[in-house]
Amino acid sequence: MREIDLHVHTTASDGTCTPAEVAALAQKIGLKAIAITDHDTESGYFEAAEAGEKFGIEVVPGIEISTKYGVAVHILGYFIDPQSPELRPVLDWVKTERDERNEKIAAMFERDGFDISLAQLREEYPDSVLGRPHFCEHLMRKGYISSVKEGFEKYLGEGKPYYLPKRRISIAKAVETIVAAGGVPVLAHPMQYHYPEPELIELIETAKALGIRALEAYYSEFSAEQTAWLLRAAEKYGMGVSGGSDYHGTRKTHISMGTGCGNLAI
């Protein structure tokens, strides 16, 4: 029986459903609770919580913060106070970094004759934290590519002509911020970083030492064997477990809220 989904994105970051729409969908498919975990922003929670009251859905205030650990590693924060002043300095820094990167990417495209600008993207996505998926969708609408996947493979994926690396905060800073805002820090989708087992163990041990309290063991793209491995790791290191679909609406058409790729029942 599926009852919760603790990894849901909305239009406040890179999902395609509004916060109210995800609450309505949760009620429709029979969930009891969801967590709004938009990238580097808490802004989607308030609308979702208001809709959750209407639909009888518990909405957990959350966030997903991108950090640097060799590769980008994501830290989920659950039960944060979305109005905590402790969040602002970090989220404002992340927003400034993201805005500057987006401006540079847009300028590179414009320089090469593409019909794209940051002003256009802001008009098209007024309430979103802009990122590469938004660039890809704009390019698709303009006829340069046929899919978001093609946009990453041709233009915006790592190593491609219009990719720029992103500056990220440390895991320690993300944990400190989440805890200061009253939240519970969780290591998001550990298997998605594609570390060999020794390096994955090192990541989990580092996360534990830095104050991360749980592993996201249930996830849409994990096999049963991967989930079982993470459950054993959580028990070994005295950590809790979490689970969620990483629902993004039509940006990840293979993932459904609550059921993921058909393999979730949390």
Residue-wise pLDDT for 90-124, tens only, equals 999 988 998 999 999 999 999 999 999 999 999 99
- The predicted structure's pLDDT at residue 183: 98
According to DSSP, residue 154 is labeled: I
Question: What is the DSSP pairing of strand 169-170 with strand 240-244?
Answer: unpaired
Cα–Cα separations (whole angstroms), residue 259 to 1, 28, 113, 215, 246 = 10, 13, 42, 19, 10
Mean pLDDT of 243-256: 94
Contact 249, 15 (CB under 8 A): yes
Q: How confident is the model at residue 251 (pLDDT cuts 50, 70, 90)?
A: confident
Of 194, 177, 247, residue with least CA distance to 73: 194
Residue-wise pLDDT for 10-30, tens only, equals 999 999 999 999 999 999 999
Tokens of 124: 């098209």
Q: How confident is the model at residue 233 (pLDDT cuts 50, 70, 90)?
A: very high
Residue-wise pLDDT for 142-199, tens only, equals 999 999 899 999 999 989 999 998 889 999 999 999 999 999 999 999 999 999 999 9
- The predicted structure's pLDDT at residue 152: 95
Residue type, 99: D
Question: What is the DSSP pairing of strand 184-187 with strand 71-78?
Answer: antiparallel
For the chain, the average pLDDT equals 95
pLDDT above 90 coverage of the chain, percent: 89
What angle (nearest 5°) sits at the alpha carbon of residue 63, between those of residues 214 and 209? Answer: 35
Question: Residue 131 contacts by C-beta under 8 Å, 6 or more apart in sequence?
Answer: 13, 14, 39, 98, 102
Residue-wise pLDDT for 42-56, tens only, equals 999 999 999 999 999
Q: How confident is the model at residue 1 (pLDDT cuts 50, 70, 90)?
A: low
| Residue 186 β-bridge partners | 76, 214
pTM recorded for the entire structure = 0.90
Q: How far apart are CA 260 and CA 257, in angstroms?
A: 6
Please say if the pLDDT value at position 223 is more than 70. yes
Q: How far apart are CA 23 and CA 25, in angstroms?
A: 5
